[in-house]
Amino acid sequence: MIEYAWLIPLIPVAASLIILFGAKEDPRSPLPWIGIGAMTVCLALAVSILWGFVSGGVALPYEKNWDWFSLATTIGGQSFVWTMPVGVLIDPPAAVLLFVVSLVSLMVQVYSIAYMHDDTRYKRYFAFVSFFTAAMLGLVVSSNILVGFMCWELMGLTSYLLIGFWFEREGPCEAQKKAFMTTKLGDSGLYLALLLLYAKTGTFQLTQLHQHFALGLVAPAAATVAAIGILLGAMGKSAQAPLMVWLPDAMEGPTPGSALIHAATMVAAGILVVSKLYFVFLAAPLAMEAAAWIGLITAFMAAAMALVSFDIKRVLAFSTVSQLGFMLCALGCGGYTAGLFHLTTHAFFKALLFLGAGSVIHSVHTNDMRQMGGLSRRMLLTFATMTVAVLAICGVWPFAGFYSKDMILVAAWNHEKWIFWPLLLTALMTAFYMTRLLTLTFLGDDRDHERFHHAHESPALITAPLLVLAFFSLTAGMAVAHDGLAARLFPKPTLSVAADAAAATPSASVAASAANNPQVQTPDAEQELPDWLKFGIPGVFVPGAMLLAFFMYRGPKFEAAEGLRSAFAPIATLLDRRWYLDDAFLALVAFCDGVAALAFWIDANIVDRVFVDGWGLLMRIIAEISSFFDGAFVDAAVDGVGGLSTDLGVGLRSLVAEGQVQEYMMYAAIAVSLAATLILTR
């Protein structure tokens, strides 16, 4: 079935167009089921590819390209034809992500049938979701990084439409603009990096780019600049510090759309692009180190903000930013397998958390956890599935997050202890704030009797996807970690010519050019955590953080937590204001507005008035002088000559007797005689 992999991104595109143009808006329209059917087909293809690889029936990587377009050119008298290929490249990580994205999108769309049933733009929402998924799938399978960048930008467009879906409200409109503009800052870096890579290699094909780097044909300085540009793109799309400001506000869109953005599409794209171009980072140690520290800072800052937030969706948004920081930090520390493993497990439990939060909001009609409490007695299935997700993200054995987060900590331990210890603290903060969310929402006594009284379990179309995602949140970690499967599914790229020769053989000319410049790296031997950490983290530290959160927030007014908040009011204010990052960006915007206003004043009062208007005035004065001279002298002279000629004509006419033909003949004879005399006497 792998030969049909190229259909996977095209099927949801077709479904999106059919849904969008197939009929008028109607909440009872059956068209959204077309999107569900399309994702079912995509999931079946993805399962076939992944199972084929795991069972040994399919060899990966698989690549198939077609000529997209060609351009003929002449250089130095020689004609060349430049061809742009387009195609698919399915390696093991792509096979895994095809399954993850298809499954999560399918669950989101099934869930949305019930969640969005009474929305006036019901059909449009499903068209957007299908197109959003198609763009992510296109990025996953594309063999051409420029085509992948097009899919990357289409995701940005569709996220803009989903975040601002309820555009009649002010909040979504501001959030969509904020998301679009912030991510564009990073996108510009990625685009310039791709252009630089093309300038140095002459190709956008991933396999050929990898060959050039494996053979040492790209200078370290160029590799570093390109890697920093790629990192900027990931910082924007995956909401890394300081470009994280857009993601918490992306909650303004429909909750299932938020689940898709946070779990398997938009924010995962940044980590995915870094992993696809990981060989560039291997050739740029400075960029690798920057990625590790940016990921660490992001993880810590976002986790700290989640500690004080009471909006259930915003806590999950901060959690997403933090977990993305874990992934980027792992990649920067050399933990390629760990980073992509966590990207996979995170997709399941984060989608489950958002959809579970949506189930709660659908029931109690508020996002504020202070107005919840005790909902486990009203929404047992939602509570049970969200508990699975919380245990997974906290890293409790045997849930999925335990295995992937443990690998990240090992990678950090092997790379730099100064990264490991803050990352471990952040992991414990994650356990604290997620248990806080679960306690405030589902445990203890209800804090709003009216909302509690009207709370009820969500319908089957909402709870069924929760059960499916809970299953994978429980089992995915064990399945992938079993028998070294993680290393097979997410094999770390190298810059070793010998290691990469098995995947693709470079041309003789390329190999000859690289003969004198080999660039070979061998991975460092990894060490396990010390036993006291290996068993203490899951056995003591994480449970301790969870129990602390439970006891601090189990009461109806959680006095202990509020007392602690009051004691550290400046820190709480700092976190409530999101480390003043929004204020900093707004100050930057205000500064730019001030610069623009100053430029306008200079243009209007100096450039326009002094130079443009002054020059115009000078030209007018010169024109007036010229007009005076022309009227007083030139025109007077012309008029004088004309008057003289007129007077002379009048005088001559007075000598002539009008109408006397014989007199005219006499004058003519005189003239002829004079002329003849002059001629004969010469």
Give 257-324 as a DSSP string. HHHHHHHTSHHHHHHHHHHHTHHHHHT-HHHHHHHHHHHHHHHHHHHHHHTT--BHHHHHHHHHHHHH
Query: In terms of residue numbers, what domain contains 645?
Result: 595-670
* CA-to-CA dists, residue 441 to 255, 256, 445, 545, angstroms: 17, 19, 10, 18
pLDDT of residue 139: 95
* CA-to-CA dists, residue 379 to 157, 452, 650, angstroms: 36, 10, 118
606 occurs within a structural domain: yes
The residue-averaged pLDDT of 326-352 equals: 95
Interval 465-502: pLDDT, tens? 999 999 999 999 999 988 889 999 999 888 765 444 44
Whether cis (ω within 30° of 0) applies to the bond prior to 398 is: yes
Tokens linked to 632: 């007083």
pLDDT of residue 105: 94
The residue-averaged pLDDT of 509-532 equals: 54
Angle between helices 542-553 and 380-394 (to 10 degrees): 140
The position carrying tokens 């510009």 is: 188
Query: Residue 368 carries which DSSP code?
Result: B
* CA-to-CA dists, residue 114 to 32, 117, 460, angstroms: 11, 5, 9
631 occurs within a structural domain: yes
604 occurs within a structural domain: yes
Cα Dmax for the chain: 143
Does the pLDDT of residue 452 top 90, yes or no?
Answer: no
Whether cis (ω within 30° of 0) applies to the bond prior to 9 is: no
Q: How many domains does the chain have?
A: 1
pLDDT of residue 503: 41
629 occurs within a structural domain: yes
Q: What is the mean pLDDT of the chain?
A: 88
- Where does the pLDDT of residue 195 fall: very low under 50, low under 70, confident under 90, or very high at 90 and above? very high
Interval 4-48: pLDDT, tens? 999 999 999 999 999 988 877 777 778 889 999 999 999 999 999
520 occurs within a structural domain: no
The residue-averaged pLDDT of 163-169 equals: 88
Q: Are 176 and 164 in contact (CB under 8 A)?
A: yes
The secondary structure of 84-147 as a DSSP string is: EEEEEEE-HHHHHHHHHHHHHHHHHHHHHHHHTTT-TTHHHHHHHHHHHHHHHHHHHHBSBHHH
Counting residues of the chain whose pLDDT is more than 70, the rounded percentage is: 93
The residue-averaged pLDDT of 543-558 equals: 89
- Residue 253 to residue 466: CA distance in whole angstroms: 20
pLDDT of residue 476: 93
Whether cis (ω within 30° of 0) applies to the bond prior to 242 is: yes
- Residue 528 to residue 411: CA distance in whole angstroms: 9
The residue-averaged pLDDT of 174-181 equals: 89
Query: Can you state the percent helix, strand and coil of the chain, rounding each to 5?
Result: 75, 5, 20
SS3 166: coil
In sequence order, which residues have a C-beta less than 8 Å from that of residue 407 and are 6 or more positions away? Answer: 330, 335, 337, 338, 341, 342, 486
Tokens linked to 358: 């949506």
pLDDT of residue 337: 94
Residue 369's nearest CA partner among 285, 284, 446 is: 446
Question: End-to-end CA distance of the chain, in Å?
Answer: 113
pLDDT of residue 189: 94
The residue-averaged pLDDT of 261-282 equals: 91
pLDDT of residue 414: 93
636 occurs within a structural domain: yes
Q: Whole-prediction pTM value? A: 0.85
532 occurs within a structural domain: no
Tokens linked to 668: 């003519």
Q: Are 480 and 486 in contact (CB under 8 A)?
A: yes
SS3 63: strand
Most confident of 17-21, 182-186, 277-281, 449-453: 277-281
Does the pLDDT of residue 644 top 70, yes or no?
Answer: yes
- Where does the pLDDT of residue 660 fall: very low under 50, low under 70, confident under 90, or very high at 90 and above? low
Interval 391-430: pLDDT, tens? 999 999 999 999 999 999 999 999 999 999 999 999 999 9
Interval 561-596: pLDDT, tens? 888 888 888 999 999 998 888 888 888 888 988 999
| Burial profile 145-169: b = 16 or more Cβ within 10 angstroms, e = fewer | bbbbbbbbbbbbebbbbbbbbeeee
SS3 403: helix
The position carrying tokens 């370290």 is: 220
Single-letter residue type at 158: T
391 occurs within a structural domain: no
Instruction: Dihedral sign for Cα 516, 521, 522, 524, please.
Output: positive
Tokens linked to 506: 């470079």
Does the pLDDT of residue 505 top 50, yes or no?
Answer: no
The residue-averaged pLDDT of 348-363 equals: 93
